Structure 1
Amino acid sequence: MEKKTKKGIVIAVVVLLVVAGAFWAKGYYNDRYVASSFYYTQIPEDEVNEDS
């Protein structure tokens, strides 16, 4: 009976690590590769800006 309990605990820890790793990977992917809605640009003051 003790072997089954240890095996169950090991399986639970492995599953928990896999789930935590998946959440970390999703956050990493969103931070690095998903386009944000903010864009920045610099417009020189000495040039004339025209609408296209």
Structure 2
Amino acid sequence: QFRRNPLLYAVCCLPLLREITLERDARRICCEAERIVESTTGWHTGREFEKKRKQ
């Protein structure tokens, strides 16, 4: 993408625009993935993970 239009790439990488465009989808996908992992493993916190790991 940088080679096609370096100026547009630089503008899209600005923190505010990145928050609106790229990060929104990334956070949504991450939250969905975390819920799936929590529901399948049953570990909702690091402390619970450590407790289960020691058992």
Q: TM-score, normalised by structure 1?
A: 0.45
Larger Rg: 1
